[in-house]
Structure 1
Amino acid sequence: MGRRVPAVSRALDILELFLEGDGTLSAPEITRRLQLPRTTVHELVTTLAARGYLTPLPEQPGRYRPGVRLYQLGSRYAEQLDLATEGDRVAREVAGRCGETVHVAILEDTDVIYIAKVDSSHAVRMVSAAGRRLPAHCTAVGKMLLASLPPAELETRLSPAGPLAAMTPNSITSVPGLRTELERVRERGTAVEHRESNPDVSCVAAPVRDRSGRVVAALSVSVPMIRWSEEREAELTELTAGGAGELSARLGYRPRR
C-alpha cells in the first residue's frame, strides 16, 4: 500500500466539512475546525476553488460552497450505482450477521417485487426468490414502502381497492385497517409483519433511500416462528435499520443533521 499524501488528505478533510451544516464555510472556520495553519488552509482553498471544487459566494465575500466539479463527480458515481447489485451486497452482509433470510424489495403499484435475496444459513428457513411478486399490504417491506408514499399517491393506489386479498388468516383485508397500520409504521420508522404472507414466518423491514432522500426500496429480515421472540424482533429491527441505512449510504443518501 502506497504512502498517503498529507496535502491531499487535508484537501479532502476540507471538502468533507461541507457535508455538515448549511454547506457553506469561510477559511477562518475551516482553520478553526481542522486546526491547520492559516496559510495552509488559504492555499488549499484557493487551489480547490481554482479547480472548481469550491465556489466563492458573491453575496458573502470570504465564504465558499461546494463547486460544480463535485457535482459532476457525484453524478458520475451515481451513474455507476445499481440498486439490485448494491442491495445484494448489503443483504449478504446483514444475513451474515443474523443467519436469517434477507430481502430487498421495490414497490410496483400495490405489489412488491424482490430484487435481491440471501438465504438463511439455517436448515429451517423461508422459501422465496428474487423476482417474486407479493401484495404489498401482506409484507413488512410492502407496508414500509406504502407508508413512505406521499399521501396523495397512496390514496391513488388504494382508491380502486375493495377488500384486500388475504394470504394468511393474519393478513390485513381492509383499506381502513391498512391505513391504521401504515400510520404505525410511520411512527416507528420500521415495519413488522407477523405471519401475514406466510403462516410460519415473521419479518421486520426498514426504508432504503436514494441520494435525494426518497424511499426507493426496503430491506427486510424474515424469521421462522420457531426462532421468533420479542427479544429477537428488537435485535433484528436494529440490524435491519442499520442494513437499510448502509444501503442508503451506498446509494448516496446522507441524513440531514
Structure 2
Amino acid sequence: MGRLVPAVTRALDILELFLERDGPLSAPDIVRGLGLPRTTVHELVGTLTARSYLAPVPGRAGHYRLGVRAYQLGSRYAEQLDLAAEGQQVARSVAESCQETVHVAILEDTDVIYVAKVDSTQAVRMVSAAGRRLPAHCTAVGKMLLASLPAEELAARLPDGAELRAMTPDSVTDVAALRKELADVAERGFAVEESESNTDVSCVAAPVRDRSGRVVAALSVSVPLIRWNRERRDELAELARRGAGRLSERLGHPKR
C-alpha cells in the first residue's frame, strides 16, 4: 500500500464521525472528536460541503449533516452487493474457524432457501446444498428469520391452526408452541434447532441485517449430534453471531 494522504484521511475521518453519532455535528464537535486544529476542520468541512458530502442544517448555523453525495455513493455500493457471494465468503471464514458446515439462508413465505454453503472438513458432517428449500419452522435459520418478522406479518404467514409439517419426530408442529419459541429466539438473539430437520444434526443461527437494520438472512452452523453439547452450542452460537455481524457489515449495516 502506498503512502496515505493526510488531508484525504482527515476528510474521511470527518465523514465517519457520522457513523458513530446520531444527528448533525458542528465544527467544534469535529474538533473535539478528532483532535484536529480548528482551521483544518473549517477547510475540510468547507470542501466536503462544496462537493455535497456534507450539507448545512437549515436553522442551525455551523451545524452539518451528511449530504446527498454520501447517500448516492452508499446507494451505488448497495446496488453492487450480492448476498450469495458475500455470504459465501463469510461462511467460508466461519467454517474455517470451527470446521463445521455453515449456511446462509433467506426466508420465502414459510420456507427457507439456502443461498450459500460451506462444508465441514470433518469425516462426519452434514450433507446439504445451496438452493435447497426447507420448512422454516424446522430449521435454526428459519426460526431466526421468523422471529425477526413483525407480529402482524408472522401471524399472516403462520395463522392459528396452520399445519406445520414434521421432518423428524422432534419437529415443532404446533403453531402456539412455535410462537413461544420464536419469542425466546427474539429475546436471546440466536436460534437453535436440535434434530428437527435431520435426526442426526443440530444447528445454531444468528440474524444478518442490511444497511437499514432489517433482517434479510440468517447464518447458521450445523453440527452432527456426536459433536453437540451445551458448551459447543454456546461456542458455535457466538461464532454464528460474529459471522452474521461481519456479513451484515458487508451489506452496509453499521458496525456495533
TM over 0.5: yes
RMSD: 1.1
Aligned residues of 1:168 and 1:198 also touching (Cα < 8 A): yes
Tell me the residue number matched to 1:247. Answer: 247
Aligned residues of 2:206 and 2:219 also touching (Cα < 8 A): yes
Tell me the residue number matched to 1:129. Answer: 129
Identity of aligned residues (%): 74
Any residues of structure 2 matched to 1:98-247 within 5 Å, and which? 98-159=98-159, 162-247=162-247
Deviation digits for residues 62-91 of structure 1, max 9, x if unmatched?
000000000011111111101111011100
Deviation digits for residues 230-252 of structure 1, max 9, x if unmatched?
11111100000000011011000
- Count of residues in correspondence between the two structures: 256
Compute the TM-score of the two structures, normalised by the length of structure 1: 0.97
Deviation digits for residues 91-134 of structure 1, max 9, x if unmatched?
00100100000000001111101010000010100010001010
Q: Take 1:197 and 1:118, find their aligned partners in 2: how far apart are those partners?
A: 18
Residue aligned with 1:77, SS: helix
Q: Take 1:23 and 1:243, find their aligned partners in 2: how far apart are those partners?
A: 29
Q: Take 2:59 and 2:82, find their aligned partners in 1: how far apart are those partners?
A: 39
Q: Take 2:143 and 2:45, find their aligned partners in 1: how far apart are those partners?
A: 47
Aligned residues of 1:23 and 1:66 also touching (Cα < 8 A): no
Aligned residues of 2:116 and 2:130 also touching (Cα < 8 A): yes
Deviation digits for residues 20-74 of structure 1, max 9, x if unmatched?
2223111111111111111111100111101101001121000000000000111
Compute the TM-score of the two structures, normalised by the length of structure 2: 0.98
Structure 1: 4+ residue segments shifted above 4 A: none
5+ long unaligned stretches in structure 2:
none
Tell me the residue number matched to 1:14. Answer: 14
Q: Take 1:132 and 1:248, find their aligned partners in 2: how far apart are those partners?
A: 22
Deviation digits for residues 187-244 of structure 1, max 9, x if unmatched?
1010000110001100000011111111110000000011111111111000000000
